[in-house]
Amino acid sequence: MDNKLRIDYLSNHIDYKVVQHKDMYHFNTDTCLLGEFINIKKNDTVLDVGTNNGALLVYIIKKGGIATGIEINAKALEICKLTLKENNINATLIDGDFTSYNFKSKFDCIVSNPPYFTFKDKQTNKNENKNIARHENSLTIESLCKALKQNLKENGVIYLIYKANRINELEKELNNNSLYINELQYVYSKVKPNPKSVLVKASFNNNGKIMQDNKYI
């Protein structure tokens, strides 16, 4: 194996392996929180948007989903292939742009840990591979929500993790595309008063009620 590659394990699952490259984006707590938050039925068709090294695909397949991963960064997709091989699992992988790709059919579930830092944020990284994963260079909140609407089945469900202080922006763009938040789970650090991120479940179902909970890490 390339000396810049290593195998890591997903939180609480010592048998869930992820291949990671030293110079590319690594999965983090957000990835694991979203992976646990996803609730799918066996044989649901599930799309992972921005699949990167395939960490969320492992969760999806282990939960019984039929997984497809789309990734705009071809280098990341090569790492994803190694992750699938290490876990002896299969998924359809697409080298493409979620906002313009023409899928053959819609999905029961769409999952994403999208880039949620804006161009104004100071966290811009000199590493372009990490920039693609973290900043809205190629996937803005507006284009994400529009594509979610286009590719989700009528009774489908969406699972996202997003920056907590941008939840109003996310809700607005979801609503603009006839999508509605059904469940929120704010993620707090035990040492900080404000939530860092928020887990979101959304769908076309607008029942006017939002289940809300908090999680502490």
pLDDT score, position 209: 85
pLDDT score, position 109: 98
pLDDT score, position 129: 45
When pLDDT is cut at 50, 70 and 90, the band that residue 208 belongs to is: confident
When pLDDT is cut at 50, 70 and 90, the band that residue 8 belongs to is: very high
Burial class (CB in 10 A: 0-12, 13-18, 19+), 128: exposed
Structure pTM?
0.89
pLDDT score, position 133: 43
Tell me what the pLDDT averaged over the chain comes to: 90
Closest CA to 214 of 170, 183, 171: 183
Tokens of 150: 């286009």
Higher pLDDT, residue 190 or 102: 102
pLDDT for 58-71, tens place per residue?
999 999 999 999 99
Residues near 6 by Cβ (< 8 Å), separated by ≥ 6?
19, 20, 22
> Hey, how many other C-beta atoms are within 10 angstroms of the C-beta on 212?
11
pLDDT score, position 12: 84
pLDDT score, position 75: 93
pLDDT score, position 135: 44
Query: Radius of gyration (Cα) for the chain, nearest Å?
Result: 16
Pairing outcome for strands 45-49 and 5-9: unpaired
pLDDT for 107-162, tens place per residue?
999 999 998 545 555 455 554 544 444 446 668 999 999 999 999 999 999 999 99
